[in-house]
Chains A and B, each alone.
Chain A
């Protein structure tokens, strides 16, 4: 038995991990996600903002960490726009601001069937992923009082109308902007200023002159006459800075330079890898909250009442994979102890 366990092929281990992720997804196990104090702090920080407040979102990440950070981006944008909070985006990493732009206009945002019906009534495009047809990007339409979608891809079913809202299907819209009730106007409610070269210097320059440091929006237009920046001078006119951070420059620099020098509240969403490094800042209050990895994103989704979120969906495979890994460590150590006894 011992010999057998010791010689397990690594491919068997790989398979176990793959299955622990795939099976819970296919079976659709769902867990309620309880929140943790760190996430509650973030939620409080957003919840305490008056409607009309301005938040800076600093997109300090790129595609390598989008798996953990992008769900946070979606949930935060959604919360801000639903609650009438103005959002100014900048990126200290070259591709970060693009990812936020994607979250707003392109990424899949899942919604509940009820929400889908409401959005169709508003005239927005809603897509369906259906269990029967194994293809996606099908738009739902209302025909003769019935919600239908047309399946054009599958062979033999060409152009066939299917009845939407069977309980097994799931629904999504493209971009946060389509998932909310309000109309979000660029330049008034939302401003993406794109990548800002200069790393820490961008932050220090923003302390006294936000508009001057940001200067242009993502397409190169000057921002100084836009409505969203009216009355905005120093960083103290910003109500909260949220850094979506996966390295340097990122949340650490915002804490050290923006909070350290001007006492502006800074909160962050970080990859789980770097989460422990920020614990001292949470303890001392230099950070007003932290979302740590996919679990942090899921907890924020729970806190804001968005239960179709991508992060929440990921929590059941995450749970099982953790169990499997713990099991591996335990078995490995039992073998180790038994062998030590033998010799």
Chain B
């Protein structure tokens, strides 16, 4: 029961917040000002787009929703392509090559570790390379890659266990302190 009331309340809350935060300031208030600022009238377009989106609920005419949907998906993927290339590919490769160079004179340990980093990246990438059979040299190198992957999954495993325990701890803290009033 409490859960249902909560779901209802938070859905309602989401509605109110979106109203106050998007519809009112970005749409209704600006359309009201359209007398002094005629450019605001252009906002009728997204308004219509939004209404078209609601046709998704209709079985017969749900194609109407495709128009605004395709706009949103298009903007999303266009925006994603460039930014992901920059952050997840170029910046990563740049850091591997230049920020942590494989040879720093005088600092043999960091150099070794950076070499290890490059080797780990290359072998792990090779493990996910599907255009060649994992035989011979490629197979052996990819096997080294899987070891590095396993170490990273081990770290993730440790972290996830930690997360689950932390949640339990917070529950126990709550029970002991707030419920039973025991000072910790």
A and B touch in the complex (CB under 8 A): yes
> Is A170 touching B87 in the complex (CB atoms < 8 A)?
no
Contact with A along B10-27 (1 / 0, CB 8 A): 100110011011101110
Residues of B within 8 A of A317 (CB): 165, 169, 172
B22 touches A198 (CB 8 A): yes
- Is A196 on the interface with B (CB-CB < 8 A)? yes
Write the chain B residue with the least CB distance to A259.
B87
User: Could you tell me if B172 and A273 are in contact, using CB atoms closer than 8 angstroms?
Assistant: no
Is B137 located at the chain interface by the 8 A CB criterion? no
Q: Which of B51-59, B104-112, B154-162 contacts A (4 or more CB under 8 A)?
A: B154-162
Provided the pairs A284-B91, A284-B95 are in contact, do residues A194 and B166 lie with their beta carbons within 8 angstroms? Answer: no
Provide the bound-state CA to CA distance between A6 and B126, in Å.
Answer: 40
- B133 interface contact, C-beta 8 A: no
Could you tell me the distance in whole angstroms from the C-beta of B97 to the nearest C-beta in chain A? 11
| Contact A22–B172 (Cβ < 8 Å) | yes
Q: Once the chains bind, are B163 and A215 in contact (CB under 8 Å)?
A: no
Contact A25–B165 (Cβ < 8 Å): no
Q: Which residues of A contact B181 (CB under 8 A)?
A: 129-130, 133-136
**Shortest Cβ distance from A277 into B: residue:** B156
CB-nearest residue of chain A to B18: A197
Interface residue? A155 (CB, 8 A): no
Given the interface pairs A134-B180, A169-B183, the reply to whether A260 lies near B87 with Cβ below 8 Å is yes
Min CB distance A249 to B, Å, is 12
Q: Does A327 reach chain B (CB closer than 8 Å)?
A: no
Q: Nearest B residue to A286 by beta-carbon distance?
A: B91
Q: Are A272 and B166 in contact (CB under 8 A)?
A: yes
- The contact string, 1 if C-beta is below 8 Å from chain B, for chain A 241-263, is 00000000000000111011100
Contact string, A1-26, partner B, CB cutoff 8 A, digits 1/0?
Answer: 00000000000000001100110011
A269 close to B (CB within 8 Å): no
Note all chain A residues with C-beta closer than 8 A to B180.
134
With the chains together, A271 CA to B162 CA distance in Å? 10
- Chain B residues whose C-beta falls within 8 Å of the C-beta of A292 in the assembled complex: 159
A238 interface residue (CB < 8 Å to B): no
Give the segment of B39-47, B62-70, B78-86, B140-148 that binds chain A.
B78-86
Distance in Å: Cβ of A215 to nearest Cβ of chain B? 5
Interface presence of A146 (CB below 8 A): no
CB neighbours (8 Å) of A169 from chain B are 183
Closest partner residue, chain A, to B168 (CB atom): A21
Q: Does B178 contact A (CB under 8 A)?
A: yes
B91-A67 in contact (CB<8A):
no
CA distance A169 to B91 in the complex (A): 52
Partner of A67, one of B117, B166, B178: B166
**B21-A261 in contact (CB<8A):** no
Asked whether A220 lies within 8 Å of B24 as measured between CB atoms, the reply is yes
Q: Is B167 an interface residue (CB 8 A)?
A: yes
Contact of A276 among B18, B20, B156, B165 (CB under 8 A): B156
Question: B34 at interface (Cβ–Cβ under 8 A)?
Answer: no
Q: With A and B bound together, what is the CA distance between A276 and B151 in angstroms? A: 11
CB contacts (< 8 Å) of A283 on chain B: these are 95, 100, 117
Interfacial chain B residues near A280, Cβ < 8 Å: 92
Taking the closest CB of chain A, its distance from the CB of B43, in whole angstroms, is 14
Q: Does B37 contact A (CB under 8 A)?
A: no
> Please, which residues of chain A bring their CB within 8 A of the CB of B96?
284
Given contacts A26-B182, A216-B20, 10 further A-B contacts (CB under 8 A): A22-B172, A25-B184, A129-B184, A200-B76, A256-B86, A273-B163, A276-B156, A286-B95, A292-B159, A317-B169
* B residues neighboring A (CB under 8 Å): 10, 13-14, 17-18, 20-22, 24-26, 76, 79, 83-84, 86-88, 91-92, 94-96, 99-100, 117, 152, 155-156, 159-163, 165-173, 176-178, 180-184
- Which A residues are within 8 Å of any B CB, using their own CB? 17-18, 21-22, 25-26, 28, 66-68, 94-95, 129-131, 133-136, 168-170, 194-198, 200, 204, 215-216, 220, 222, 255-257, 259-261, 271-273, 275-276, 279-280, 283-286, 292-295, 310, 313-314, 317-318, 321-322, 325
**4 smallest beta-carbon distances between A and B, as pairs:** A284-B95, A67-B170, A294-B166, A272-B163
A–B Cβ pairs within 8 angstroms, 18 of them: A21-B169, A67-B167, A68-B163, A94-B17, A129-B177, A129-B181, A131-B182, A197-B21, A198-B22, A215-B21, A256-B84, A256-B86, A283-B95, A286-B87, A286-B95, A317-B172, A318-B169, A325-B161
